[in-house]
Every structure is written in C-alpha cells, then in structure tokens.
C-alpha cells in the first residue's frame, strides 16, 4: 500500500489473473485491482471468493502498483480497488482522481504507520522516538532503523522523522518488506535490539510480540482508514456487488490473524477459513444481495 513508482501505462503495468469461475460466460467480470501487500491481497481475495460463490458473478483480479491502480479505477479500466490509505498515505494519488471515483466504504479503520520494537526491550528504555537519542540506546541499535522499499511512503516519512527528531547518528536501512522481515525474525530469535518501520494491519503483529513507539511530532502520521474505491457508474452498473462491498468491513485484529494464517498456509486456505469462522459477519456483508 505504500509503494510509489513512476506512473506507468495501465496496459504495461497490470498483471491480471482471472479467478476460476463457473459463472455464465456472457457475464462481464468484476475487475478488482490490488497491490502486492499482504492486507490488500487477503481482503481482495476474500471479496472475490464471496462475489463468485454468494453473488454468482465472475471476478478478474488485476495486480499493479499503486499509481496505476488509482488511474485504472479513474479511467474505468478497473471496477474497484480495496486499498486506498487515507487521508495521508495515498493523499497525492487520491487528490488526482477524487472527482472521477466513488468511495463505496471503509474496509478497515485504525490503520497506521510507525516504528516498532520488540516487547523484550524495556519500555523505560524505549517508549518514544525521542528515546532513540540516548547514547546507550543508539549503541544497542547500531544506529540503524530497519526500513523497506526506497519508493515507499513509509520510507519517505521515516526519512522525515530522522530529520524531525534530530537523529543524526542513525541511518535508515533501505531494503524491502521481505528484507525487513528477515532482519526482524533473526533479531527476535536472538533477542537483539532493533527498531523497524512497520504498519498495521500486518501479519508480523500476529507472529511476533511487537509494539509501536510513540511519535509525539506525528512525523509518521496518525491513524488512517482504508477505503474501497470504485469507478464512476459502478454502483448503477452493478448494484449488487457495490452494495456488498459497501458493507464489507473487518476489525484489524481479525485481519492480522487471517494474514498470519495465509503466511502459514495459503491465501486461498486463509480465505476459506475466515468465511467458515465468521458466518454471521459474512451474512451481514451479503445482506439481501445473495
């Protein structure tokens, strides 16, 4: 959800894969765009499964980077996307298309960016980004903040935080989500000190005992909501799916547990398990549409 790449033509940027379906061949598929982040992958595949099995409509999943997704929905090449981080993280993308898209609803609330530390670091040693200026803390952390992709919004904000807090003795270790997670896993097993750039929802909070540290200057932003955007006229063209998506909402702890299950098994298995374990929630989403 945070990756920022140079704008590409949608035809060149999109990699699509149709969900297998037994729907009528003449039905136009619902095209849902998504980015390769674990929360977006789970909720998108959950929605796709329910649209196909409960609403009897074919779905085509289209994977791309964030900028082409916003452009695709705005142009009508995509019907919807379920990963608009607002009001801050995707503010620039949204500002360019806000008059060309509709918001169907919020898929989850209370999403956030931040810096996280393992729970075994005493809170009286590190409870705030301000604490990182302590000489002994800086030494234990080797003057390093574990980061992710160079083009990510979280990376941009983390670099800003280094300046805002005067953390001149630190470097932001640019890597990738996978690289950051490898570092976290290795450090957790050895109970070594680290600070990592992080966001919620993420399955690592289901696997590891981590906590965010305070950001009194709000350099990394505040809690956000993740919205479902649709092309103009989608609500009138496909009212059943639009109504279903407008009701779809997941508590972040449930989502993080499901994302962790997907890491342990597969997204398809985690989606099936979520549907099985939350029948009342699913029924409320489907409503009278099923």
Task: Identify whether the C-beta of residue 108 lies closer than 8 Å to the C-beta of residue 224.
Answer: no
Looking at the fold, whether 31 and 55 belong to one and the same domain comes out as yes
The mean pLDDT of 120-137, rounded to a whole number, is 98
Looking at the fold, whether 162 and 76 belong to one and the same domain comes out as no
Instruction: Round to whole Å and give the CA distance between 173 and 85.
Output: 24
By residue count, the chain amounts to 290
Domain range for 281: 10-110+223-289
In this structure, is residue 265 part of a structural domain? yes
pLDDT digits (tens, 9 = 90+) for 58-92: 999 999 988 999 999 999 999 999 999 999 888 88
In this structure, is residue 217 part of a structural domain? no
In this structure, is residue 269 part of a structural domain? yes
Q: Which of 178, 212, 246 is the last residue of a domain?
A: 212
Instruction: Round to whole Å and give the CA distance between 8 and 289.
Output: 36
Paired residues of 116 in beta bridges:
196, 212
Task: Identify whether the C-beta of residue 197 lies closer than 8 Å to the C-beta of residue 184.
Answer: no
**pTM score:** 0.79
Q: What is the pLDDT of residue 218?
A: 94
Report the interhelical angle of 267-277 vs 252-264 (nearest 10°).
140
Looking at the fold, whether 198 and 121 belong to one and the same domain comes out as yes
Instruction: Round to whole Å and give the CA distance between 207 and 180.
Output: 14
The mean pLDDT of 177-200, rounded to a whole number, is 95
What CATH number did the domain enclosing 79 receive?
A: 3.40.190.10
143: enclosing H helix or E strand: none
Answer whether residue 2 shows pLDDT above 50: no
In this structure, is residue 218 part of a structural domain? no
Q: What is the pLDDT of residue 27?
A: 75
pLDDT digits (tens, 9 = 90+) for 210-241: 999 999 999 998 889 999 999 999 999 999 99
In this structure, is residue 3 part of a structural domain? no
Q: What is the pLDDT of residue 136?
A: 97
Q: Which of 190, 212, 234 is the last residue of a domain?
A: 212
Looking at the fold, whether 101 and 120 belong to one and the same domain comes out as no
Answer whether residue 151 shows pLDDT above 60: yes
Looking at the fold, whether 16 and 106 belong to one and the same domain comes out as yes
Q: What is the pLDDT of residue 289?
A: 75
């Amino acid at each position: 959800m945070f990756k920022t790449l140079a704008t590409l033509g949608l035809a060149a940027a999109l990699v699509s894969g149709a969900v297998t379906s037994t729907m009528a061949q003449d039905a136009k598929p619902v095209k849902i765009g998504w980015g390769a982040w674990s929360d977006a992958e789970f909720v998108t595949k959950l929605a796709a499964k329910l649209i196909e099995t409960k609403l009897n409509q074919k779905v085509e999943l289209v994977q791309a980077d964030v900028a082409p997704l916003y452009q695709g929905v705005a142009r009508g090449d995509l019907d919807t996307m379920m990963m608009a981080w607002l009001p801050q993280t995707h503010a620039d993308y949204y500002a360019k298309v806000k008059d060309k898209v509709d918001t169907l609803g919020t898929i989850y609330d209370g999403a956030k960016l931040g810096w996280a530390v393992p729970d075994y670091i005493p809170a009286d040693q590190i409870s705030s980004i301000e604490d990182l200026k302590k000489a002994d803390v800086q030494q234990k952390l080797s003057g390093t903040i574990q980061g992710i992709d160079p083009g990510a919004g979280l990376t941009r904000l983390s670099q800003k935080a280094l300046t805002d807090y005067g953390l001149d003795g630190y470097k932001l270790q640019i890597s990738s989500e996978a690289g950051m997670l490898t570092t976290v896993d290795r450090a957790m097993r050895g109970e070594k000190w680290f600070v990592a750039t992080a966001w919620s929802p993420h399955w690592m909070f289901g696997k590891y005992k981590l906590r965010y540290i305070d950001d009194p200057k709000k350099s990394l932003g505040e809690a956000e909501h993740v919205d479902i955007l649709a092309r103009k006229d989608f609500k009138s063209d496909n009212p059943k799916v639009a109504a279903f998506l407008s009701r779809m909402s997941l508590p972040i702890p449930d989502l993080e547990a499901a994302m962790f299950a997907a890491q342990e098994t597969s997204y398809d298995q985690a989606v099936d398990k979520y549907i099985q374990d939350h029948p009342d929630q699913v029924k409320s989403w489907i409503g009278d549409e099923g």
